[in-house]
Amino acid sequence: MKKILLAVLLTTSLSVIAEEQTKKGYYVGLKLTHEDNKNGSDADKWGMTFGKHLYKWLDAEIYTRTKDKDTGSNDTKLEGAVIGKYKLTDSLSAYTRAGIGNKYTRNEDYGYWTIEPGLKYKLNDDWSIKTGVRFRDAFQTDHNANDTTYKTSLGYKITDETSVDMGYALKRGDSKTEEVSFGLKFEF
């Protein structure tokens, strides 16, 4: 829990310090995901992200999600992250997302870290493709949370402030799942 509070304080502090140097401002993302678990019960996940553009090349965000498994059990995550971005060409950019979080389950809570490098390619002013690889593990390795997730999504910008995306993810390691997701993002 201390690590989560530290991440929230860090995110908030960075937002206050960089208030004058924002790209656009804030953003909120909503995501619905269906998870096909190859080792156990399938699940539906509902997630929400609240973020701040600190600079053109740096965002900070807080992410939470609830997972409802077919077996009736569920868990929740709370995560703080920073995202570094670098424009390679007019259409291609690279990013790296690094975060720490806490997973809350019925039996036990534990902390974890995650890092995700990736690429985003703009097909035109409205459409884009994004792909990345997320590495995740628990701080206490006995929690069996070491996995690698290969992600890809297709995004469409409805307006300058609103976009949607459809995604697919393949997770391997301690977890073996396939996920299909739908996201909605608002800039303000």
**Average pLDDT in the 171-180 region?**
94
**Average pLDDT in the 7-33 region?**
65
For residue 36, give both structure tokens.
């096909």
- 47-56, pLDDT tens digit by residue? 999 999 999 9
Predicted local confidence at residue 40, as pLDDT: 82
Residue 103 identity:
K
Predicted local confidence at residue 23, as pLDDT: 47
Asked if residues 63 and 96 have their Cβ atoms less than 8 Å apart, the reply is no
Percent share of the chain, pLDDT over 90: 76
Lowest mean pLDDT among 15-24, 67-76, 83-92: 15-24
Lowest mean pLDDT among 28-37, 87-96, 102-111: 102-111
CATH of range 2-187; options 2.40.160.20, 1.20.210.10, 3.30.70.20, 3.40.960.10: 2.40.160.20
For 93, phi and psi rounded to 5 degrees? -135, 155
State yes or no: pLDDT of 146 exceeds 90.
yes
Asked if residues 50 and 62 have their Cβ atoms less than 8 Å apart, the reply is yes
Degrees, nearest 5: CA angle 158-84-33: 50
Predicted local confidence at residue 19, as pLDDT: 45
For 160, phi and psi rounded to 5 degrees? -65, -25
Per-residue pLDDT band at 145 (split at 50, 70, 90): confident
**Average pLDDT in the 122-148 region?**
94
State yes or no: pLDDT of 72 exceeds 90.
no
Q: Is 4 helix (H, G, I), strand (E, B) or coil?
A: helix
> CB-based burial of residue 51 (10 Å sphere; 0-12 exposed, 13-18 middle, 19+ buried)?
buried
Asked if residues 44 and 72 have their Cβ atoms less than 8 Å apart, the reply is no
What is the distance between the alpha carbons of residues 169 and 162, in angstroms, rounded to a whole number?
A: 23
Domain ranges of the chain: 2-187
Asked if residues 95 and 132 have their Cβ atoms less than 8 Å apart, the reply is yes
pTM: 0.85
